[in-house]
Amino acid sequence: MLLTGELLIGGKSHMGTAGSFEAIEAATGGKLKGSFGGATLDDLDEATKLAWAAFPIYRETGLEQRAAFLEKIAELIANTSDELIVRTMAETGLSRLRLEGERMRTVNQLKMFAEEVRSGRFLDRRDDKGDPTRVPLPKPDLKFRNIGIGPVAVFGASNFPFAFSVAGGDTAAALAAGCPVVVKAHSAHPGTSEVIGRCIQQAVRECGLPVGVFAMLHTTTREVAQALVADARIRAVGFTGSRSGGLAFMEIAAKRKQPIPVYAEMSSINPVLVLPEALRSDWEAIASAFVGALTMGAGQFCTNPGLILAIEGKGLDAFIEKACEVISTQAPQTMLTPDIAKAYRKGVSALSGNSKAKKIAEGQKSNEFQCQAVLFETRASDFMADHAMQDEMFGSASLVVRCKDKSELIAVLEHLEGQLTIAVHMRDGDNALAKELLPLLEVTAGRLLVNGFGTGVEVSPAMVHGGPFPSTSDGRSTSVGTAAIYRFLRPVCYQNFASDVLPALLK
């Protein structure tokens, strides 16, 4: 597998000249083969200029042609070699099984958007016939449709090198909406990004689309990444990563001459409520399943269960005892990047140093590139008094909050920041309490689930992967599922147009 380290712009590739960097092996911190060149501001200008030029043509491509384009990308990714999986394993520390599954998920996600495009549903075409005879005023003829919002900047996620990176959910949704895409490749998996980026470039060529429909840049300075968001031709941003990164982009976007939407997925601790009857009858199974969800993929999921909420009692004591027992057997796991491992240790050490939180279990010892699972506990009153206890620790760390009674549980829920998911573990005897809590849960999270954990996000039309701030910058949207397309659309109304002047997609 040849990696050139080049930028992909305008259907061609060339080496960036603004510095260079190597990919880092997640497990050792050593350098992997190949050097990647950083984009200059001129490269960025060329990519966005071409994207802007492609926009009017691409957004009016027929639905069949656009769907076929998405399917072509899917086909090319499905046919990537095993060498890609080997490279991605080295770059991310993720397992073969996980990455093979994720590559297929990415392929299926593209196919799902192809079907959505074919259906034309997202255009939401409306035809409100005029009536020139209406009194006292004639009724205008109104036609409505959604159009692509414009070129979209995509910042791939480190924790999903396929499904949320170069050809991931944001890119697929933007392309489906009729928007050209400029991707800023994540520095944690540049080799993976190049291979996938070349698949999209090839699909653009084979489908006869304008070359500006897709570009991918590596950057060595934050200045270039920020200039992408500030560029006047970019009309929306898709981002998954840290709260500080998301906030930085929101600020840049808001200060532009023409502010634009930033769809940033940032931090969420995904509370898990274990209701009294579930604790009483099933504490053991729930505790084991909780540790399984917590430690899966070294806990590097935006939906990782970082908070357990339950009412004091024998059931909670037994649950905690079992969870501690299982956590202590957990082997350490390689994290995505040395920086993410460092950030994890920093978060764990901050909570360890908090006199109101107690470390109650930890997994087997780790090295500096690995995640050691850890469990803390605190009282609800202490949790509510210290906002820092809600900080995301990206990895296998969780905090159990002991609530004195139902009203304290409700007070904690009212105190929570916005979340991607809230899971409720309940049995028949818990129905009345669950019903009482539901209105509060709905306003706090984008997805509510029963007797499960938020990890494992189904890619399907009814999925919501989003939630109130700070889980995302805009809780009115989702980044997974067909509804993700609406982030990159804008409604336009055509009043009193002769039919032969109207765009073909509206007829």
Taking CB under 6 A as the rule, does residue 340 contact ligand NAP?
yes
**Minimum distance between the CB of residue 240 and ligand NAP, rounded to whole angstroms?**
5
Q: Is 29 left (phi over 0), alpha (psi -120 to 50) or beta?
A: left
Residue with smaller CB distance to ligand NAP, 82 or 339 = 339
Which of residues 182, 248, 371, 401 is near ligand NAP by CB under 6 A? 248
Question: Under rule CB under 6 A, which residues in 365-424 are in contact with ligand NAP?
Answer: 392, 394
Taking CB under 6 A as the rule, does residue 296 contact ligand NAP?
no
| Residues making up the chain, counted from first to last | 507
Taking CB under 6 A as the rule, does residue 184 contact ligand NAP?
yes
DSSP-based three-state secondary structure for 484: helix
Taking CB under 6 A as the rule, does residue 348 contact ligand NAP?
no
487 touches 173 (CB < 8 A): yes
213 touches 177 (CB < 8 A): no
23 touches 36 (CB < 8 A): yes
Residue with smaller CB distance to ligand NAP, 114 or 374 = 374
Rounded distance between C-alpha atoms, residue 216 and residue 16, angstroms:
11
Taking CB under 6 A as the rule, does residue 302 contact ligand NAP?
yes
**Minimum distance between the CB of residue 455 and ligand NAP, rounded to whole angstroms?**
12
Taking CB under 6 A as the rule, does residue 53 contact ligand NAP?
no
Rounded distance between C-alpha atoms, residue 347 and residue 360, angstroms:
16
End-to-end, the C-alpha distance of the chain in Å comes to 46
Which of residues 80, 92, 159, 479 is near ligand NAP by CB under 6 A? 159
CA angle at residue 173 from 170 to 176, to 5 degrees?
A: 145
Which of residues 152, 157, 163, 389 is near ligand NAP by CB under 6 A? 157
Encoding tokens for residue 45?
């200008």
Cis peptide before 470 (omega within 30 of 0): yes
Stretch that binds ligand NAP, among 170-178, 181-189, 376-384, 487-495 (CB under 6 A): 181-189
Which of residues 151, 168, 197, 241 is near ligand NAP by CB under 6 A? 241
Where would I find the H helices in 38-95?
41-58, 63-78, 82-92
Name the residue with tokens 């060329």: 46
Taking CB under 6 A as the rule, does residue 11 contact ligand NAP?
no
CA angle at residue 288 from 326 to 312, to 5 degrees?
A: 95
3-state helix, strand, coil in the chain (%, to 5): 45, 20, 35
Which of residues 55, 113, 155, 319 is near ligand NAP by CB under 6 A? 155
Considering Cα of 44, then 46, then 52, then 58, what sign does the dihedral take?
negative
Active-site entry in 102, 179, 194, 302: 302
Stretch that binds ligand NAP, among 65-73, 106-114, 266-274, 287-295 (CB under 6 A): 266-274
331 touches 352 (CB < 8 A): no
Taking CB under 6 A as the rule, does residue 187 contact ligand NAP?
yes
**Minimum distance between the CB of residue 63 and ligand NAP, rounded to whole angstroms?**
31
Q: In one letter, which amino acid is 207?
A: C
**Minimum distance between the CB of residue 42 and ligand NAP, rounded to whole angstroms?**
18
**For 78-231, where are the E strands, in sequence order?**
126-128, 142-148, 152-155, 181-184, 214-217
Taking CB under 6 A as the rule, does residue 351 contact ligand NAP?
no
Taking CB under 6 A as the rule, does residue 19 contact ligand NAP?
no
Q: Is 493 a catalytic residue?
A: no
Which of residues 40, 146, 267, 390 is near ligand NAP by CB under 6 A? 267
Residue with smaller CB distance to ligand NAP, 151 or 156 = 156
Which of residues 265, 277, 282, 377 is near ligand NAP by CB under 6 A? 265
Active-site entry in 265, 277, 362, 392: 265
Q: Is 302 a catalytic residue?
A: yes
> How many chain residues are in contact with ligand NAP, going by CB under 6 A?
25
CA-nearest of 375, 382, 388 to 412 is 382
Name the helix (H) or strand (E) containing 406.
helix 406-415
Taking CB under 6 A as the rule, does residue 109 contact ligand NAP?
no
**Minimum distance between the CB of residue 169 and ligand NAP, rounded to whole angstroms?**
11
Question: Under rule CB under 6 A, which residues in 465-504 are in contact with ligand NAP?
Answer: none
Stretch that binds ligand NAP, among 45-53, 217-225, 284-292, 494-502 (CB under 6 A): 217-225
Taking CB under 6 A as the rule, does residue 286 contact ligand NAP?
no
CA-to-CA dists, residue 320 to 145, 159, 295, 362, 400, angstroms: 54, 29, 16, 13, 8
Encoding tokens for residue 405?
């009674």
Active-site residue list: 265, 302
Give the interface with ligand NAP as residue ranges (CB under 6 A).
Answer: 155, 157-159, 184, 186-187, 219, 222, 225-226, 240-242, 245, 248, 265-268, 302, 340, 343, 392, 394
